[in-house]
Amino acid sequence: MKKIAITGGSGYLGTWVIKEFKENGYEILNIDMKYLQEKLCKTLIANLTNHGEAY
């Protein structure tokens, strides 16, 4: 199975992108500052603008 990490997947456009990748057989990791409204994939809560959370 192909894997992909998506940043900002909890927003309107990001949710659409996640659904498209999921329909095409990808295992997805969403990296965002909030959880998805729907449980579409695993979400890692992180603020990537904060250097300490990114590493």
What is the reported pLDDT for 54? 65
pLDDT tens for the 55 residues of the chain, in order: 899 999 999 999 999 999 999 999 999 999 999 999 999 999 999 998 887 776 6
3-state secondary structure (DSSP) of residue 19: helix
What is the reported pLDDT for 36? 92
Q: What is the pTM of this model?
A: 0.84
What is the reported pLDDT for 55? 62
Cα–Cα distance measured from residue 12 to residue 38, given in angstroms and rounded to the nearest whole number? 12
